[in-house]
Chains A and B, each alone.
Chain A
Amino acid sequence: MTPLLNLTPQDWTAVALSLRIAVVATLVTLPFGIAIATLLARKDFWGKPLVDAVIYLPLVLPPVVTGYLLLIMLGRHAPVGAFLAEHFGIVVAFRWTGAVISCGVMAFPLLVRAIRLSVEAIDRRLEDAAATLGAGPFWNFVTITLPLALPGIIAGAMLAFARALGEFGATITFVSNIPGETQTISAAIYTLTQVPGGDAAALQLVIVAVLISLGALMASEWLARRATARLHGA
């Protein structure tokens, strides 16, 4: 192992956990993000401004507030949390699944925004053309709308992944900072910087975080380029 990157097993656990939480949060929120973004881009309904505001709320609220709101809703003794625990045996408080929820909630506005913009940019006359060719609403969406929105979906998923990976405030407030269960890279770095002499170890994790983020950025750039090239005919 290089002297530059000398991670302890606990560091590796935090790295793996961060990746798992960010990947799962992105994948779980993606279908909801696509559905909500399409709804907001295409339909006018009563209460739309409110739905809009609620979705974008995590973007403007202090993350600690979002985490606290999650805690008082989904905590073990909170109304929703107690119901889920009692009827479905689902407990998310202080579990990695809770971190998935907080990361997902924080990432959701970015996901929805990117996808919504790309859906709004689609030429609807193409969907009309598909309808005259016999495509009902479902197949029209799957064969025309989704592929045409793909660059935006990739960009949104990437933003969501990055946000989930870097999430700190809401997660630590909601599920705390338990090594091996909820301690992500950010939380581990924070913990190390609170310990005298922990700076060197923190730097190791910082390097890993930079590498992961760079890799994710480059991968998404490459994917988006390919998707755009496919759309415009190569």
Chain B
Amino acid sequence: MLSVDVDKALGEFTLHAAFAAAGGATALFGASGAGKTSLINMIAGLLRPDRGRIALDGMTLFDAAERIDVPAWRRRIGCVFQEGRLFPHLSVKHNLDYGRWMGRHAADPAAFAHVVELLDISHLLDRRPGKLSGGERQRVAIGRALLMRPRLLLLDEPLASLDAARKGEILPYLERLRDEARVPIIYVSHDAAEVKRLATRVVMLEAGKVVATGGVELLY
């Protein structure tokens, strides 16, 4: 269970967002510039809210009044960014292992094999990110976030940098992820079709404000 209630001045407008998300896939839906990415970065711990509170599974991650601000590296929130952000100097396999190394977890070959199979990336393991296609890169990025054993997955427009064909290639993996991984997902998108297909709940943002929350029927 994630609960967010934050304010943040962002250039021309002030983001003021309050919502809660439980299991399944919650979509943060809104036009470009509505503050979706800023909101995601605040949940991840990469951007500091001006006021408010963020809590996950009963643990306070941020509370301005109590002066609590858990750093990003202690939050255990997996992120998949629009541009993938794979580490260029590490092979795909080492990119996937990175979160496990940093979390000091022992190797878990079964979990590794499962994620590699889920995302169909076994033939890429020895390659460098520079040699991957856009769709392959995003799949590896999703695998990397999954293998850190996150308490929450944040997907920030993971398909936005791909063409229609590549999107179609990745969407089934995301559906499997939503149905098989027992991690709650926050999915940021400005694409209604994507959201209809993936989300179980929708939070609509407009100019930094939550204007509606509910099921996917909000989009019809």
Chain A residues within CB distance 8 Å of chain B: 123, 125-126, 128-137, 139-140, 143-144, 147-148, 230-234
Contact = CB atoms under 8 A, between A and B. Distances in A.
Residue of A133, A143, A148, A232 contacting most chain B CB atoms (<10 Å)? A133
Contact of B87 (A130, A134, A137): A130
Interface residues of B, number: 30
Nearest to A227: B89
A66 B103 CA distance: 48
Given A128-B46, A134-B102, A234-B128, 14 more contacts: A123-B85, A125-B81, A126-B87, A129-B87, A130-B87, A130-B98, A132-B72, A132-B78, A133-B99, A134-B73, A135-B73, A136-B71, A137-B73, A233-B128
Top 5 nearest A-B pairs (CB, nearest first) are A233-B128, A233-B130, A134-B102, A129-B85, A133-B99
Interface in B75-89: 75-79, 81, 83, 85, 87-89
A141 B195 CA distance: 37
A135 B104 CA distance: 10
Contact of A126 (B71, B85, B148): B85
Interface string B77-119: 1110101010111000000001100110000000000000000
11 contacts: A125-B83, A131-B45, A132-B44, A132-B45, A132-B79, A133-B144, A136-B71, A144-B87, A148-B89, A230-B89, A233-B88
A29 B148 CA distance: 37
Nearest to A234: B128
Contacts of B44: 132
Contacts of A126: 85, 87-88
A153 to B, nearest CB: 13
Interface in B43-70: 44-46
B197 interface: no
A29 B78 CA distance: 38
B123 interface: no
B176 interface: no
B89 A132 contact: no
Q: DSSP majority for the A interface? A: helix
A129 B79 contact: yes
A189 B128 CA distance: 50
A136 B131 CA distance: 28
Contacts of A129: 79, 81, 85, 87
Nearest to A232: B130
A132 B77 contact: yes
Contact of B98 (A125, A133, A136, A148): A133
Nearest to A134: B102
Contacts of A132: 44-46, 72-73, 75, 77-79, 145
A27 B107 CA distance: 36
B96 to A, nearest CB: 10
B112 to A, nearest CB: 15
Interface string B124-161: 00011111000000000000110010000000000000
